[in-house]
Amino acid sequence: MRLIPFLVCLLIFSCSTQTSSNNQAAKIYSDTSTLYYKGKPLFIFGESIDKMTSRPGFFGGDSTHKQGDGYSYVAIDTFFIAQQSTGSINGTLMIEADKLRQIQRVQAWWAISVQMNSKTEEEAINTIRQKYFPDLPTNFIRTKNDTIEHKSFIEVFKFSDSTNIDNNSLKFWSFVYEAKHKSPM
Over the chain, what is the mean pLDDT? 76
- Provide the pLDDT for residue 59: 64
Give residue 10's identity as a one-letter amino acid code.
L
d(CA 133, CA 126): 9
The answer to whether residue 26 sits within a structural domain is no
**Could you give the CA distance from residue 42 to residue 87 in angstroms, rounded to a whole number?**
26
* pLDDT-derived band at 7, boundaries 50, 70, 90: very low
Higher pLDDT, 114 or 149: 149
Confidence of residue 26 (pLDDT cuts 50, 70, 90): very low
Q: What is the pLDDT of residue 21?
A: 33
For residues 178 and 17, give the distance between their C-alpha atoms in angstroms, rounded to a whole number: 30
Residue-number span of the structural domain to which 73 is assigned: 32-181
Does residue 18 form part of some domain? no
Q: What is the pLDDT of residue 162?
A: 66
- CA gyration radius, the chain: 20
Task: Judge whether 9 lies within some domain.
Answer: no
Q: What is the pLDDT of residues 78-116, one digit of tens each?
A: 999 999 888 889 999 999 988 888 999 999 999 988 877
Q: Report if residue 161 sits inside a domain.
A: yes
User: Cα torsion at 71, 74, 75, 76 (round to 10°)?
Assistant: -150
pLDDT of residue 70: 80
Per the structure, how many domains does the chain have?
1
